[in-house]
């Protein structure tokens, strides 16, 4: 029976998460984390390096290769008070890549800590032969626009962030970022710079584990979705009908579509971002299949579109429609914003399961998990709490196959 998620109360998707269960530091060895294996209602405890033996035969793992920006900037006003500027992304209409390539001057949307201490000043960070100024422009849609100006002007904003920025650890990790976090908070396959949060399910993988997956007949594929700060925002609305899902930009490449159309094994996304991307691809393809796709729309489709548009065509068919459209338009790659919300009532058209960490109470990520395993999410999380699993970004993982 179809469940319309617009009538869900987020208060029904909560659990007691003691602060001591939140992992504030990563495991020394990534693949020694625990992994909870949920298969058709049965729960077992394993270690992450056992993953190749736990996956269905010839699984295709979808990795998000987004790389985390050193997006946290620490300024001081004239009196020495700290002003924290967390760079989220360029204004609407400007891609992450374009924003990072700007030279000398750029405007970005930001979170600002201790805004009252800014008071019209132009705080500056200076280094050996360079300096960075921050000009406050005003509040926009719950964030703040800040113009950054720097010298030498020939440097890109990406280069400035590498010099000045710090690792943007999630707000629930109550400590300062360390030098070790620069590596620990990136996946081993991180390549495309642009995220402000790591696709944390991928943090468990090592080069050795990737090699063993290949040796046991599994395949891997990299996609790109830059994780935005919206992933940390709590659901404040009482019902989901009142919640506005945050946008994230997905990259679509024609060779990905060709590979996915031909692949015959089960597709298992690594992380909620990879699942959101692969399912968003389905709906963009479905719109192409019906002549509804507008590449200039922001987002590509509304967050409730999949619940109102009853589409059951095989994903190979709709992916082929999207590939055909890209071929006609002579495009090898496009970037499309998605606002897809995956909640109970949603049926995955592509993903056959997920590898993911344990998520915060009353979060859209927990709703996504519930859409896959139903009310068993409570049993899964109770088991994890009772068996010393570590929670959230640096915590343990799970392999969930309904």
Query: Tens digit of pLDDT for each residue in 2-26?
Result: 678 999 999 999 999 999 999 999 9
The two tokens of residue 84 are 């924290």
Residue spans of the domains in the chain: they are: 5-68+184-401, 72-165
Q: Residue 186 is encoded by which pair of tokens?
A: 């990136």
Strand order in the sheet with 143-151: 72-76, 82-89, 105-113, 143-151, 131-140, 124-126
Q: What is the pTM of this model?
A: 0.93
Percent of the chain topping pLDDT 90 = 81
Rounded Cα–Cα distance for residues 177 and 326 (Å): 42
DSSP letter for each residue of 98-146: HHHH-BSEEEEEEEEESGGGTTT---EEE-SS-EEEEEEEEEETTEEEE
What pLDDT score does 365 carry? 94
Q: What is the mean pLDDT of residues 272-287?
A: 96
Q: Which residue has the tokens 């805004």?
A: 115
> Is the pLDDT reported for residue 228 higher than 80?
no
For 5-68+184-401, give the CATH class. Answer: alpha beta
Location of structure tokens 């400035």 = 160
Asked if residue 120 lies in contact with residue 171, where contact means CB atoms within 8 angstroms, the answer is no
Taking only the tens place, the pLDDT of each residue in 333-385 is 998 889 999 999 999 999 999 999 999 999 999 999 999 999 999 999 999 99
- Pairwise CA distance, residues 336 & 3, whole Å: 28
């Amino acid at each position: 029976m179809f469940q319309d998620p617009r009538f869900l109360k987020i208060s029904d998707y909560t659990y007691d998460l003691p602060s001591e269960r939140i992992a504030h530091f990563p495991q020394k060895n990534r693949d020694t984390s625990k992994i909870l294996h949920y298969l058709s209602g049965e729960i077992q405890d394993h270690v992450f390096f056992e993953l190749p033996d736990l996956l269905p035969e010839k699984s295709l793992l979808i990795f998000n290769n987004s790389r985390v920006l050193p997006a946290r900037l620490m300024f001081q006003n004239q009196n020495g008070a700290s002003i924290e500027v967390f760079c989220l992304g360029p204004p609407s209409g400007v891609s992450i890549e374009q924003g990072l390539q700007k030279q000398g001057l750029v405007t970005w949307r930001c979170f600002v800590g201790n805004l009252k201490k800014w008071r019209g000043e132009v705080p500056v960070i200076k280094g050996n032969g360079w300096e960075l100024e921050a000009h406050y422009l005003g509040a926009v849609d719950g964030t703040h626009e800040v113009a950054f100006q720097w010298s030498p002007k020939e440097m890109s904003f990406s280069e400035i962030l590498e010099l000045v920025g710090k690792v943007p650890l999630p707000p629930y990790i109550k400590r300062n970022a360390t030098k070790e976090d620069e590596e620990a908070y990136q996946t081993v396959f991180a390549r495309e710079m642009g995220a402000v949060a790591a696709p944390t399910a991928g943090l468990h993988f090592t080069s050795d584990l990737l090699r063993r997956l290949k040796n046991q007949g599994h395949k891997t594929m990299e996609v790109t979705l830059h994780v935005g700060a919206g992933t940390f925002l709590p659901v404040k609305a009482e019902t989901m009908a009142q919640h506005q899902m945050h946008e994230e930009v997905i990259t679509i490449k024609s060779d990905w579509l060709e590979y996915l159309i031909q692949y015959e094994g089960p597709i298992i996304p690594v992380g909620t971002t990879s699942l959101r991307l692969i399912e968003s691809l389905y709906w963009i393809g479905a719109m192409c299949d019906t002549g509804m796709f507008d590449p200039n729309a922001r987002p590509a489709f509304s967050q409730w579109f999949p619940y109102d548009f009853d589409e059951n065509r095989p994903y190979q068919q709709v992916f082929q429609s999207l590939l055909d459209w890209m071929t006609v338009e002579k495009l090898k790659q496009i970037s499309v914003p998605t606002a897809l919300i995956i909640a109970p009532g949603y049926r995955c058209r592509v993903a056959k399961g997920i590898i993911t960490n344990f998520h915060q109470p009353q979060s859209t990520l927990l709703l996504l998990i519930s859409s896959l395993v139903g009310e068993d999410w409570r049993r899964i999380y109770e088991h994890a709490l009772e068996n010393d699993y570590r929670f959230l970004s640096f915590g343990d993982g799970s392999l969930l196959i309904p």
